[in-house]
Structure 1
Amino acid sequence: MFKRVITALLGIPLIIYIIHIGGLLLFSALLAICSIGLLEYCKSVNTDENINISYYLEIALGIMLLFIFNFYESLIVAGLFLCFIVIFIYEIIKGKANVLQGIYALFGIIYVPFLLGHISLFRNFENGSFLILLVFIICFSTDTFAYIIGINFGKHKLCPLISPKKSIEGAIGGIVGSLIITSIYGYLMNKYNLLEFQPIYYIVLSFWASILSQFGDLTASLIKRNFNVKDFGNILPGHGGVLDRFDSIIFATPLVYYFTLYYIILG
């Protein structure tokens, strides 16, 4: 717990600073996070003796996709299609005839750089950095309150076969805690004219993003349990790997982006 707290105390200000500066610094951080995340994913999946995903190919495709997100967003679908083609051409050339390996490789590209790549798209919004920060606030408040409520009041298992320690009470506590913290954040954003959304925007978004962030956490647990690994890595003391810390962010980021986009379009 001590290591977890220290990592959070050091990491949270760094995240805020990177988001605030944005631009090349944010893009570089995203490249690093996704590259490490893909490496962690490949190492976990490759524990299965029948699977041997190429770290180099996976990271190269991930970097290409992130460049498309940041500089050529109109080509995102084409980029994802190219990843699909390259992965299976690679499998055919290797002569392994392992369709499952190709599917896992493609899943890694979608799971890490494609979903997280949406962070780059927030530049299209006025004061988009505050929306990126909103993603982290929703996810981190969900994680924190789910942990606190779950430890103290959790009695009913949420998904015992996937994550035995998680409880229904904790999940509900995470949603409620996220609603409270996000509403406070929204109030401050409106007060200082940094974001101009109605309170209902923050309430509805927080509710669904909090739920989805918890499914992101469970998805990461499902992958780890399937390949019998405790953590994706150990780069973050007390938290594990990059994917262990960003699992909820991975799922919540696209939701916040598209929800905000259509909220603005529909007025």
Structure 2
Amino acid sequence: MQKGTDVLAKLTINEQGDHSMLKRVISVIVLAPILLYLVYLGGIPFLIGCFLILGISAYEFGHIYNRDEKCKTPIALLVVMVLLLASARYFIGFDASQRMMTSCIMVSMIWGIFAYEHHSTRAAFGFAVLVTGLVYIGWLGSYMISLRQVDNGFWWLTLCLLIVWMNDTGALFVGKKFGKHHMLPKVSPQKSWEGYLGGILTALLTACLLHIAFPAISNMLTRNQVLILAFILSAFASMGDFGESMIKRTFDIKDSSNIIPGHGGFFDRFDTVFWAMPICYLFYELISYGLLQV
């Protein structure tokens, strides 16, 4: 009797897993082309797309921390400052946006001072959350805008997104099928070394195929350069996923929200992208300065 119950439980878990996987696939099929089309359009439509990604991610970030009374922070202020920082990147430029960052940090401190004065004895924690969200979501996330604005920005951003997405996909399927050795079991119990390596190999294959299929990419980067980029992105961007897992486990939640079926929230979906964009931008600079001739 017990054996039959165990079998039924396993079947139920498998069915739930298959259903979740189906929702993930459908969400990707719907959302990925929309985002790539906005990247293609550039300009204000792309900026609006970035506003949605960064604004919702900032809201989810603040909402996670607000689960703990001592970390209470003004989510609306965080969202507004993140969008101001993204606007500065787009309209003023990368260098000038540093002044917007400085101003936002000062505003965050001013909020903390007045919050404490009005009987919020934990205001220092809220200030720390504001600055952390501003830097992590606003500053890192705005590299999407900076990367789109460089020479051949559409291809740089598209290449980066496709490599990261395929890395995530390869890691998911390989890990699900062959994963046995956990990487960081306390942070993310389902992530394995097998999945991690599978994601890297998938990213390298994707980069190679894109280099062959699109002359714009092959004119922009040599095969060795695109493979190096794919390896670096797939090896390090996953730290964004682990970082978000660390935050969620600290507050004992599964997803940042349930806005994207099968994926959770925008912060869940773009955690690796927030890492990938500054890495890819730095790689672009190395190529532009002729420091990586391979």
If the length of structure 1 is used for normalisation, what is the TM-score?
A: 0.95
Q: 1:81 to 1:174 in 2, by over 3 A?
A: same
Alpha-carbon shift at residue 123 of structure 1 (Å): 3.8
Alpha-carbon shift at residue 195 of structure 1 (Å): 4.3
Match of 2:199 among 167, 171, 174: 174
Match of 2:231 among 207, 230, 246: 207
The one-letter amino acid of 1:187's match is I
How far does the alpha carbon of each residue in 1:76-99 deviate from its partner, in whole angstroms, 9 at most, with x for none?
A: 222211121111110011113532
Aligned residues: 266
How far does the alpha carbon of each residue in 1:135-154 deviate from its partner, in whole angstroms, 9 at most, with x for none?
A: 21111111111011111111
Say whether residues 1:260 and 2:284 are aligned partners. yes
Alpha-carbon shift at residue 110 of structure 1 (Å): 1.1
- What secondary structure does 2:69 align onto? coil
Kept in 1: contact 2:112–2:127 (CA 8 A): yes
The one-letter amino acid of 1:67's match is S
Kept in 2: contact 1:31–1:66 (CA 8 A): yes
Match of 1:125 among 137, 141, 150: 150
Alignment of 1:15-164 (within 5 A): 15-73=35-93, 74-95=95-116, 96-97=120-121, 98-164=123-189
Alpha-carbon shift at residue 126 of structure 1 (Å): 2.5
Say whether residues 1:246 and 2:267 are aligned partners. no
Unpaired runs of 5+ in structure 2? 1-20
Whole-Å separation in 2 of the counterparts to 1:195 and 1:68: 31
Aligned partner of 1:196 in structure 2 is 220
The one-letter amino acid of 1:69's match is R
Whole-Å separation in 2 of the counterparts to 1:257 and 1:139: 14
Unpaired runs of 5+ in structure 1? none
Q: CA RMSD in A?
A: 1.4
Q: 1:123 to 1:252 in 2, by over 3 A?
A: closer
My pick for the range that moved more, 118-127 or 209-218, is: 118-127
Kept in 1: contact 2:35–2:49 (CA 8 A): no
Alpha-carbon shift at residue 214 of structure 1 (Å): 0.7
Match of 1:225 among 242, 249, 252: 249
Alpha-carbon shift at residue 184 of structure 1 (Å): 1.2
Identity between Structure 1 and Structure 2 (%)? 29
The one-letter amino acid of 2:113's match is I
- What secondary structure does 2:264 align onto? coil
Kept in 2: contact 1:162–1:221 (CA 8 A): yes
Q: 1:123 to 1:33 in 2, by over 3 A?
A: closer
Match of 1:6 among 4, 17, 26: 26
Aligned partner of 2:212 in structure 1 is 187
How far does the alpha carbon of each residue in 1:93-133 deviate from its partner, in whole angstroms, 9 at most, with x for none?
A: 11135323211211111111211111111244332111111
